Structure formats: structure tokens, C-alpha cells
Chain A
Amino acid sequence: QSALTQPPSASGSPGQSVTISCTGTSSDVGGYNYVSWYQQHPGKAPKLMIYEVSKRPSGVPDRFSGSKSGNTASLTVSGLQAEDEANYYCSSNAGSNNLRVFGGGTKLTVL
């Protein structure tokens, strides 16, 4: 049950694009299309931003997109806005035994 690997920080200026990676193994990220991404502002509950690698829930701006290649998933935020500054976490199922795992989180700073 090892956490997925994310960079601790990422940054970009308003209007720019930034991509956050999430690296796992063939037993989690690489083995299933079950990667999801969550945004969390300080003191708040996490909010679902992407599910099934690249799908957006209703109400999430299309500036947020997801993808996957091999054992690494990515979240791209385009047209950065001040309100995008938050912590972002990836998640996947871990193996075939119904365990779940999160990444360590990435703090996104809008410069």
C-alpha cells in the first residue's frame, strides 16, 4: 500500500498551463482506468475534479483535464486562475483487492 508519487509543488502564472504528474505501478495507476483527481483548499473537504482518468464531473471547468500513459497519470490545468491555487491529490484503486491509494499531494501556486 505505497502512496502514489506526486511532485510536492507546481506553479504557474495566470493564464498559463501547468501539469501535475502522478506515478504509480502496474498494480494501480497502470493497471486500471480508475485514476481520479481531487482539489482541496485549506480547511476544506476535497472536491472531485477528474474521474476515470479524463472525465470531468458536472460543474468542473473544462480548463481541467486528465490523461494517463503507462504507470503515470497527469492533471493539466489550463488558463490558470487565482482560485486554482490549492492542493491536488490523485487516487487509484490499489490492486484487485478493493484497496484505495492517494498520492502525496501537490501544492499548486498561482504566481
Chain B
Amino acid sequence: DVQLAESGGGLVQPGGSLRLSCAASGFTFRGYWMNWVRQAPGKGLEWVANIKQDGNEEYYLDSVKGRFTISRDNAKSSLYLQMNSLRAEDTAVYYCARERGTKYFDLWGRGTLVTVSS
């Protein structure tokens, strides 16, 4: 089956860190740009970051630049999001999403919830 599965979410205090993972299966992971998209409770989708197939290009939402780092391990078919200096406004379900060449997301995981609270 072609799928993405996120993990690593949980409760963290403001200022803390968390590392999310996304395991890909059923397709050639190294062939695709990959993205993280988040959704705060009751709110809309917000693009967070993406990374090129070879990991040599990364782009970020302004509000997470310098705090979050996206990375990938093509040998393990895995995508990561290292989140540091977390804030209450980072509370959201985080989805990983596969991107096709003309900038659309055709495969999504089920998401992992990150809650930033004291």
C-alpha cells in the first residue's frame, strides 16, 4: 500500500523541542519533494516546510524559520521535522504530504498532534 505515517507528536512545554517522523511506504520516496503541513485546532491548513528529493533544498514558513528544520533519509524512506523553541501557536496536527511536480499534494498521512502547553 502507498502510504505515509507520522509519529512523534505529544505534549511539550513552551520553549521545548520535539522531532516528528514520517515513514513512507509503497513508493519510491527519493523521487519526490516532501512537505509538512499543519492544522491548528478548529483552523485551516497551513504549509510549514518542504524539502527537495536529494535534501539539498529546504523552504520554510516565515514563522518557523530558524526554529524548525526539515530533513529526510532516503535510505530509510523517512521525513523528519525537528521543532525547537516551541510556542503555544505551534499547537496543531502535523501532516506529511507528498508533492507532485506541479506543486500539488497527492498523498497525505493521518497526522500527529503536537500540543505546546505548560
A contacts, CB < 8 Å to B: 1, 3, 32-34, 36, 38, 40, 45-48, 51-52, 57, 87, 89, 91-93, 97-105
17 further interface pairs, Cβ-Cβ under 8 Å (given A97-B59, A102-B45): A1-B61, A34-B102, A34-B103, A45-B109, A45-B110, A46-B95, A48-B105, A48-B106, A51-B102, A51-B106, A52-B102, A91-B105, A98-B59, A99-B47, A100-B50, A101-B47, A105-B45
Is A36 within 8 A of B110, CB to CB?
A: no
A100 to B103, CA, bound (A): 8
Chain A minimum-CB-distance residue to B47: A100
Is B108 within 8 A of A45, CB to CB?
A: yes
Q: Which residues from B are CB-within-8-Å of A52?
A: 102, 104
Is B104 within 8 A of A34, CB to CB?
A: yes
Q: Which residues from B are CB-within-8-Å of A48?
A: 104-106
B contacts, CB < 8 Å to A: 35, 37, 44-47, 50, 57, 59, 61-62, 95, 100, 102-106, 108-111
B74 to A: closest C-beta gap in Å? 19
A-B contact count (CB 8 A): 67
B41 to A: closest C-beta gap in Å? 12
Q: Which residues from A are CB-within-8-Å of B62?
A: 1
B15 to A: closest C-beta gap in Å? 24
A48 to B95, CA, bound (A): 14
Q: Name B45's contact: one of A51, A89, A92, A97 (CB within 8 Å).
A: A89
